[in-house]
């Protein structure tokens, strides 16, 4: 009804501006000023009807026709307003300027021009316009508010004064007060805001919006006890206000009372009206707090488990998986990440996280099965190809590993991890010349990379370039004297050569202390014991290593040697035959089988 009245008023305004019809003195049809006015009025009314229907393109056509017949500022204002609605800022600005040129004292015209300048990112121009409005109407809150907004970035003190002027005119209003609080915080004047709001609450103690501003300010100034006291008072009057519940949770968290805060936050998490993102934010706050205090990890778990009851969102599964990893609950972590990948097959990050988790758990066959699917979905994803290649290499499928790792390097040619892994793989394929080219390239990018130094030293050692391999190991130990990989590899090298066996034993023990379930490290210390003639200890360590890697030809061969020295030739032969079945390239094993002895 209101819009219809406005149309009528507009029509009357156009009619009022008409001149008297001139007298027709002959039969020739002449378009007179009054005819133009009437035609403009008719076109304007048609445009208004289209505008009411939301048919803005048709409305603009009629308004343009009206303006061409009678270029009044009211019509150019209407055109500007409609162009603004459809985000055609150039046309909106042009017509808006025309309306102001036609009537520079019309506040409505000026406010529209200011808004268009704002949207066009011309803050200096909008600033001039809003000040012109205030010169005409010193109580115009729209001009004050908009002027304050564009002043915030460069003139925060002036913006603060303008927002306060709005409050003086209309009283405390939530949006304005939020801006005041934010500006005071930037200017370091939060205490001033607190005292102002406290005074306002004395005049109107039941105003919930004011209470919330004050609570927020108390929290920001770390006056948590005052905040909690006011929250409890407010909750007595507004027990169902979830915003107050959230404030209380925030205040308790800031105080470090995480368990008490959880009780408040759980009210939010269980409430179906609370947006999913807000619930996630609660869980993340506890997950973040667990970085400093691991006891918060269980609280984070409780939050995400509650959220998980009402959703199948993959993010929740991922967070629960992360929590399980931190709690060393490998089985739960794998379960949650598997669910996450099923729910978000499109997300490569979830596949990467799952593959990395399985790899860290040394479940290389599971990694291969899982990443084989992932690489089909994301063939050009570098982390997926890298994890897949690493797992293939660890599972002794070196030909396939070589193919995948080369693909990874095509995607990221300077990645040292991929270069190191390819170098190791090429070494296992006895392609040492190519391996050294790759590894030397890796060392150009990262000369202190211990993994690459270790593999490079290993290749030189295999080729009996012991002076070079020993110098590389020595360089690596200067970088990190406690690195168990380097300690193990150097210890094995010395044991294999039968030198410095006591020193080798000390290094191997350090490696085992750090990683007691590492099959390579167990084999190394077992081999040192073998060289020292302590066959019982050698058997214990190497048998444990073989249990972990049943298909590792080197470990099985070593166990055969130990059995032979212990006088059990039958078991020795059995292990040698199995080792040769696993790796037919090891001719030294074939010789032992044929001779029946070492």
Q: How far is CA 238 from the centre of its chain?
A: 36
Specify the pLDDT at position 229.
93
Q: What are phi and psi for residue 414, nearest 5 degrees?
A: -105, 10
Do the domains spanning 33-137 and 414-481 agree at the CATH topology level?
A: yes
Tokens representing 345 are: 């097959």
Q: 11 falls in which pLDDT band (50, 70, 90)?
A: very low
Between CA 59 and CA 69, with CA 64 as vertex, the angle to 5 degrees is: 130
Q: Which of 33-47, 131-145, 454-468 has the lowest mean pLDDT?
A: 33-47
Residue of higher predicted confidence among 201 and 70: 70
Averaged pLDDT for residues 533-550: 96
| Percent of the chain whose pLDDT exceeds 70 | 94
Give the residue extent of every domain in the chain.
Answer: 33-137, 414-481
C-alpha Rg value of the chain to the nearest Å: 39
Terminal alpha carbon distance of the chain: 106
Listed residue (364, 360, 354, 410) closest to 384, CA to CA:
354
Give the chain's count of helices (H) and strands (E): 34, 0
Q: What are phi and psi for residue 483, nearest 5 degrees?
A: -70, 115
Spatial separation of the C-alpha atoms in residues 99 and 73, rounded to whole Å: 4
414-481 CATH choice from 1.25.40.10, 3.30.43.10, 2.60.120.380, 3.30.750.24: 1.25.40.10
Specify the pLDDT at position 268.
84
Q: 375 pLDDT exceeds 60?
A: yes
Topology annotation, domain 33-137: 1.25.40
> Alpha helices of 256-363 — where are they, by DSSP H?
258-270, 276-289, 296-309, 314-326, 330-343, 348-360
Within 8 A by CB and 6+ apart from 511, the residues are: 484, 485, 487, 488, 491, 518, 521, 524, 525
Q: 27 pLDDT exceeds 80?
A: no
- SS3 call for 106: coil
Listed residue (163, 409, 412, 252) closest to 423, CA to CA:
409
* Rounded-to-10 torsion of CA 297, 303, 304, 309: 150
Spatial separation of the C-alpha atoms in residues 294 and 130, rounded to whole Å: 54
Specify the pLDDT at position 114.
94
Spatial separation of the C-alpha atoms in residues 298 and 295, rounded to whole Å: 6
Residue 449 backbone zone (phi > 0: left; psi -120 to 50: alpha; other: beta): beta
Cβ–Cβ < 8 Å for 566, 558: no
Q: 23 falls in which pLDDT band (50, 70, 90)?
A: very low
| Percent of the chain whose pLDDT exceeds 90 | 72
Spatial separation of the C-alpha atoms in residues 314 and 300, rounded to whole Å: 17
* pLDDT tens track for 210-254: 899 889 889 988 999 999 999 999 988 888 888 898 899 888 988
- SS3 call for 28: coil
Specify the pLDDT at position 33.
58
Q: 118 pLDDT exceeds 50?
A: yes
**pTM of the prediction?**
0.54
Residue of higher predicted confidence among 366 and 174: 366
Q: How far is CA 531 from the centre of its chain?
A: 53
Listed residue (467, 466, 470) closest to 453, CA to CA:
470
Q: 32 falls in which pLDDT band (50, 70, 90)?
A: low
Specify the pLDDT at position 448.
94
Averaged pLDDT for residues 117-133: 94
Listed residue (438, 524, 460, 515) closest to 483, CA to CA:
515
Average pLDDT, the chain: 89
Spatial separation of the C-alpha atoms in residues 94 and 18, rounded to whole Å: 25
Specify the pLDDT at position 198.
82
Q: 548 falls in which pLDDT band (50, 70, 90)?
A: very high
* pLDDT tens track for 510-523: 999 999 999 999 99
Q: 13 pLDDT exceeds 60?
A: no
CA atoms 449, 454, 457, 458: torsion sign: negative
Spatial separation of the C-alpha atoms in residues 242 and 282, rounded to whole Å: 13
Q: How far is CA 169 from the centre of its chain?
A: 43
Q: 12 falls in which pLDDT band (50, 70, 90)?
A: very low
Q: How far is CA 120 from the centre of its chain?
A: 31
Q: 331 pLDDT exceeds 50?
A: yes
Specify the pLDDT at position 187.
87
Listed residue (176, 127, 191) closest to 155, CA to CA:
127
Averaged pLDDT for residues 452-471: 93
* pLDDT tens track for 293-323: 888 899 999 999 999 998 999 999 999 999 9
Which three-class secondary structure string do you get for 353-398? HHHHHHHHCCCHHHHHHHHHHHHHHCCCCHHHHHHHHHHHHHCCCH
Tokens representing 346 are: 């499109």
Tokens representing 436 are: 């050294």
Spatial separation of the C-alpha atoms in residues 12 and 9, rounded to whole Å: 5
Which three-class secondary structure string do you get for 125-187? HHHHHHHHHHHHCCCCHHHHHHHHHHHCCCCHHHHHHHHHHHHHHHCCCHHHHHHHHHHHHHH
């Amino acid at each position: 009804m209101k819009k219809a009245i406005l149309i009528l008023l507009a029509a009357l305004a156009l009619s009022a501006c008409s001149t008297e019809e001139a007298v027709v003195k002959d039969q020739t049809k002449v378009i007179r000023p009054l005819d133009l006015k009437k035609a403009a009025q008719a076109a304007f009314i048609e445009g208004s009807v289209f505008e009411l229907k939301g048919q803005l393109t048709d409305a603009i056509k009629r308004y343009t026709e009206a303006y061409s017949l009678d270029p009044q500022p009211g019509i150019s204002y209407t055109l500007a307003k409609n162009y603004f609605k459809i985000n055609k800022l150039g046309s909106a600005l042009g017509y808006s300027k025309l309306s102001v040129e036609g009537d520079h004292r019309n506040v409505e015209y000026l406010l529209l021009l200011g808004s268009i300048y704002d949207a066009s990112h011309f803050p200096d121009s909008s600033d001039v316009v809003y000040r012109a409005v205030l010169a005409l109407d010193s109580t115009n809150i729209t001009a004050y508010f908009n002027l304050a907004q564009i002043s915030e970035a460069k003139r925060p003190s002036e913006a603060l004064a303008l927002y306060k002027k709005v409050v003086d005119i209309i009283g405390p209003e939530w949006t304005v007060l939020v801006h005041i609080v934010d500006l005071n915080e930037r200017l370091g004047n939060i205490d001033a805001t607190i005292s102002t709001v406290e005074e306002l609450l004395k005049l109107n103690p039941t105003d919930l919006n004011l209470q919330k501003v004050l609570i927020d300010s108390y929290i920001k100034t770390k006056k948590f006890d005052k905040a909690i006291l006011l929250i409890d008072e407010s909750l007595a009057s507004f027990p169902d206000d979830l915003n107050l519940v959230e404030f209380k949770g925030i205040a308790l968290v800031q105080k470090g009372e995480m368990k008490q805060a959880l009780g408040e936050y759980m009210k939010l998490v269980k409430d179906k009206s609370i947006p999913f993102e807000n619930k996630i934010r609660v869980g993340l706050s506890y997950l973040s707090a667990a970085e400093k205090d691991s006891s918060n990890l269980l609280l984070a778990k409780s939050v995400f488990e509650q959220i998980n009851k009402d959703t199948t969102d993959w993010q929740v599964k991922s967070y629960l998986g992360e929590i399980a990893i931190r709690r060393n609950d490998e089985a739960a972590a794998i379960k949650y990440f598997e669910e996450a990948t099923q729910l978000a097959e499109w997300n490569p990050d979830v596949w990467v996280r799952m593959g990395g988790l399985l790899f860290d758990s040394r479940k290389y066959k599971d990694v291969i099965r899982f990443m084989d699917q992932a690489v089909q979905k994301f063939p050009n994803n570098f982390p997926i190809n890298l994890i897949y290649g690493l797992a293939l290499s660890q599972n002794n499928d070196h030909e396939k590993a070589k193919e995948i790792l080369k693909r990874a390097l095509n995607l990221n040619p300077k990645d040292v991890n991929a270069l190191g892994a390819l170098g190791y793989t090429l070494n296992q394929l006895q392609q040492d010349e190519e391996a050294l080219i790759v590894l030397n390239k890796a060392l150009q990018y990262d000369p202190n990379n211990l993994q690459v130094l270790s593999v490079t030293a290993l290749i030189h050692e295999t080729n009996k370039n012991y002076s070079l391999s020993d110098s590389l190991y020595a360089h690596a130990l200067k970088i990190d004297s406690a690195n168990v990989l380097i300690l193990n590899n150097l210890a094995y090298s010395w044991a294999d050569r039968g030198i410095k066996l006591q020193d080798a034993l000390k290094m191997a023990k350090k490696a085992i202390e750090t990683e007691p379930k590492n099959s390579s490290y167990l084999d190394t210390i077992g081999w040192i014991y073998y060289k020292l003639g302590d066959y019982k200890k050698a058997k214990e360590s190497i048998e444990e290593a073989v249990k972990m890697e049943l298909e590792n030809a080197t470990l099985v061969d070593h166990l055969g040697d130990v059995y032979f020295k212990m006088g059990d030739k039958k078991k020795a032969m059995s292990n040698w035959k199995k080792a040769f079945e696993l790796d037919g390239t090891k001719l030294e094993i074939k010789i032992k089988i044929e001779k029946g002895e070492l």
